[in-house]
Amino acid sequence: MKIEIYDTTLRDGSQGAGIDFTDDNRREVVVALDALGISYIEVGNAAVASDLRFLSEAGSLGLKSATLSVFCATRKPNSLASDDNVLRAAASCAAPVAAIVGKASRYQVEEVLHTTPEENLEMIRDSVSYLRGAGKRVFFDAEHFFDGYGDDPVYAVSVLRAAFEAGAERLVLCDTNGGMLPDVIGVVVTSVRQKLPNAALGIHCHDDMGMAAACSVEAVISGAVQVQGTVAGIGERCGNCNLDTVIPVLQLKLGYQCVTPDQLRSLTRTARQVVEAVNLSFDEHEPFVGGYAFTHKAGMHIDAVRKRPRTFEHISPELVGNSSDTLISGIAGKSAYAAMLEKLAPELRIKADSDEFAAIIAKVREYESRGFQFENAEASLLLVVREALGIRRDPFRLLTFRVIIGEPISVNPSSLSAAWIKLAIPNGDGGSREEFAAAEGLGPVNALDVALRRALSPVYPQLENVRLSDYRVRVLDSASAKTASSVRVLIESTDGQHVWRTTGVSVDIVDASWQALRDSVEYYLLRLSAI
């Protein structure tokens, strides 16, 4: 059975705190969602001029799977739909579908709209009929439906019936407050199906109790044919139903068809692409698509997964475009190290009973004794492995650097730090050339990062593609004076396609940052076979 996926990342998702889409972001998101096989993409609100402007060009993106939709509300009380400027904008815009929201709760009608239940029904009939008359396909979002059904089920269903009889193709039941339990959702959806057997139902859940995905799945099991949600569950308050979770659950666990198997294999890539477009940090603990979704740390788990993946993996990660992973930590055994080497350096062909294997374990544990942790810094880990084997070849050698820290930015927002650096870079004939660079930055680490890349760019222009995407610091020996404690720095870097993480440890935060910066650049050049 086909289940329609209605994405509202660009509209409902944009209501989340700190989320803002540029037109370039929107284009990227629409194209990515279309490639994923999403049925409907809600590109914006008819009441927002910038959304309408973008919608006018979105229709020329050559979409293959998705139909574009625009969001609007019913007309105001005691007026005409034909006189409503927002409805007129929705009627004349390029989107084939209009999703119109109306109150399904008598309490909301009386306390928020300050009108009568009868007028609310007329508002819905008039608005849906107007959009249908303008040639639009209409989906009706029954706002606060489940709360309204709990208060007055007869009235809540009469709202749906009014929209359906006026021409709405989908009746979308909204858990607007995100306060419903899955079993309640199932009971109500079943009841509505019995009362309106010819209507096609949808579900729109918010995640205020962390149950939006579960509630949406229960609605589908109970007869809903459309699921609305957002990528990564972004949205107002606690967010919306997470499509990254609900799509594979419906398709892989329950046998519904949301997208094709090939499209499903692009889910992880699409999720990351959309989150990157909105400049958010990706939640690596997300089910199915997170970097840790199929990552194993305990020695016994790693050993079992290497023998039979299904022992600790509920699906094959490749089905959603993800991959299995292992982490090296203090509780890792030989199986973990063997799995790590197979992943990071299969070309080395290190056997578990070899002296090289023992040397690698010893070197990693030596670093760990100094406060290093590699379970989230595999790029640095690979460099340590190569160091243990005596094959680490530095693409550059630090001669010296200096950092000058400016006034605190909190005191002087225009204050910049400065750094200068001198490197020795092998020239291929056994000698080396010296490169010197200076730079300013927002703080010492930023200045050092810019200076390093500037010094290397004449020899390694590929580094122009690399940028830091995350930076974290953790105090290690917190029992001592905090300002004199050792710190561990973790840096995440990307070239726009791949992400890698490196680490450094020191009592000096700038030195720890330098170690992580150095490893980041060295790893990137190593993977490009530049050294």
**pLDDT higher than 90, residue 4:** yes
Higher pLDDT, 380 or 163: 163
Report the pLDDT value the prediction gives residue 311, as an integer from 0 to 100.
56
Report the pLDDT value the prediction gives residue 57, as an integer from 0 to 100.
86
Query: Is 352 within 8 Å of 342 (Cβ atoms)?
Result: no
Average pLDDT, the chain: 88
Q: What stretches of 174-235 show up as alpha helix (H) in DSSP? A: 182-195, 212-221
Dump pLDDT digits (tens) for 326-372. Answer: 555 545 556 666 666 777 777 777 777 788 888 887 888 888 888 88
Mode of pairing for the β-strands spanning 97-103 and 325-326: unpaired
Core vs surface per residue 136-164: b (16+ CB within 10 A) or e: bbbbbbbbbbbbbbbeeeebbbbbbbbbb
| DSSP state for residue 230 in the 8-state scheme | B
Higher pLDDT, 485 or 222: 222
Report the pLDDT value the prediction gives residue 40, as an integer from 0 to 100.
98
Question: Which whole number is the average pLDDT over 34-43?
Answer: 96
**pLDDT higher than 60, residue 438:** yes
Which residues, in sequence order, are CB contacts of 412 under 8 Å at separation 6+? 406
Dump pLDDT digits (tens) for 478-493. Answer: 555 555 678 899 999 9
Domains and CATH numbers, the chain: 4-277 (3.20.20.70), 295-370 (no CATH), 397-527 (3.30.160.270)
How far apart (Å, rounded) are the C-alpha atoms in residues 310 and 304? 9
Higher pLDDT, 60 or 264: 264
**pLDDT higher than 50, residue 506:** yes
Report the pLDDT value the prediction gives residue 364, as an integer from 0 to 100.
81
**pLDDT higher than 70, residue 174:** yes
Kindly indicate the confidence band of residue 531, based on its pLDDT and cuts at 50, 70 and 90. Answer: very low
The answer to which of 119-123, 249-253, 305-309 has the lowest mean pLDDT is 305-309
Query: Is 304 within 8 Å of 311 (Cβ atoms)?
Result: yes
